[in-house]
Each structure stands twice: as structure tokens, then as C-alpha cells.
Amino acid sequence: MTYAKTTGFTADQQYLARMAKALAHPARVAIIELLASKHTCISGNIAAELPLSRTTVSQHLQELKALDLIRGEIDGLTVCYCLNTELLQRVHQQFTAFFIGATSGAACGPDDACAC
């Protein structure tokens, strides 16, 4: 038995799902919002602003970093995290394309077999 089955789905579907999963936890949403709101890219004291332990926050940071959504630069003793805005823009476009396709398609109407 294989879990997290991926064969049979398009690369686009898998990529969108991977990016969606990155946003599928409020902590990671909050981290991205935090990084966006700070003028300078703040370091791991991100944990101080979240209701989670430093370890857990570090784990979430690594997940975002693995997808290249954020980047970290070691600056002496502290680590400076920043958003990868270029990638975020591309991801935004992909989400938009998906939602446009999902909402502009022929919706169920009274003429159809069912009436949702």
C-alpha cells in the first residue's frame, strides 16, 4: 500500500497541492504575514510572537524554507529570514489561475440534471 499517492495527477496539481499544504497551518500563515509586516527580515525571535515553542516554529520555518518560500541568511549569531517574494508572486498566479478555472466554468443551473 502506498500512501500520499501522487501517480496519476498532473505536475500542476501536485505543485498546487504542495504549495497549499505550506499554507495549511495557521502558524505558517502567521509566519509569512509576520515576515511581510516587518520592515527588516526578523530572525528566529519569530517564536516570541507565536503561541508555539521555539522548536515548533523552527520546524515550520524549515518547511517553508524547503519549498523556497522563505530564505534564511546567517548573520553572526542570528538568522535572518525573508520572504521569497518572486516565488510568492508566481504561486499567487497559479492559485489565481486555479480559482478562475474553478469559478468561471459552467456552473450547475436549472437546466442541468440536478439543481445544486
Partner DNA sequence: ATATTATGTCGTATATTTACGACATACTTC
Partner DNA sequence: GAAGTATGTCGTAAATATACGACATAATAT
**Residue ranges binding its own copies (CB under 8 A):** 5-10, 13-14, 16-17, 20-30, 32-33, 35-37, 39-41, 50-52, 71-73, 75, 80-83, 85, 88-89, 91-92, 95-96, 98-103, 105-108, 112-116
CA-based angle 42:46:50, to the nearest 5?
150
Residue 23 interacts with, from DNA, its own copies, none (CB under 5-8 Å by kind): its own copies
The site for DNA, by CB under 7 A, has a size of: 29
* 77 in Cβ contact with 83 (< 8 Å): no
C-alpha cell at 106: 459552467
Please report how close the Cβ of residue 104 comes to DNA at its closest, in angstroms. 25
Where helices occur in 38-116 by DSSP H, the ranges are 54-66, 85-104
The answer for 20, left when phi > 0, alpha when psi is -120 to 50, beta otherwise, is alpha
Binding site for DNA (CB under 7 A): 1-5, 21, 24-25, 27, 43-45, 52-56, 58-63, 72, 74, 76-79
